[in-house]
Amino acid sequence: MDSFLGLVGPYVRMEYAKEVLFKDFPPLFQSVDEQILEIAPSIGFEVDKVRFLSCMFMSFPLAIIHTFLPNSPTLKHIYTAGIGLLMGFFRYFLN
């Protein structure tokens, strides 16, 4: 119960949330994140800004894929929610 209260207390502790939620999560974006860690200092941006920009640039090809999906609202909602969760994980929960 203490771990749950620590997670949803009056202030969300991001580092604690990472430990609880993603301690056993496989590193899906490890190779991409390693490349971003190398690229960010060379172009003069912070790592979190490069992650944000990469998500924004990847949204264009993913939107094209979205248009070619069958005309099923449920399928399109699931696709959009899945991509959004993956981008959120990539943007906020990587080291």
- Read off the DSSP letter of residue 11: S
User: Rg of the chain over CA atoms, in angstroms?
Assistant: 16
Q: Within a domain: residue 88?
A: yes
Given this model, what pLDDT does residue 80 score? 95
Q: Within a domain: residue 2?
A: no
Q: What is the C-alpha separation between 22 and 60, in angstroms, rounded?
A: 28
Given this model, what pLDDT does residue 1 score? 46
Given this model, what pLDDT does residue 27 score? 64
Given this model, what pLDDT does residue 76 score? 95
Q: Within a domain: residue 13?
A: no
Would you say 34 and 41 are in contact if contact means Cβ atoms under 8 Å apart? no
Q: Which two tokens stand for residue 21?
A: 């939620």
Q: Within a domain: residue 69?
A: yes
pLDDT along the chain (95 residues), means of 10: 54 62 61 83 89 91 94 94 88 71
Global pTM reads: 0.66
**In which domain, by residue range, is 44 found?**
26-92
Q: What is the C-alpha separation between 54 and 3, in angstroms, rounded?
A: 33
Q: What is the C-alpha separation between 53 and 55, in angstroms, rounded?
A: 5
Q: What is the tally of structural domains in the chain? A: 1
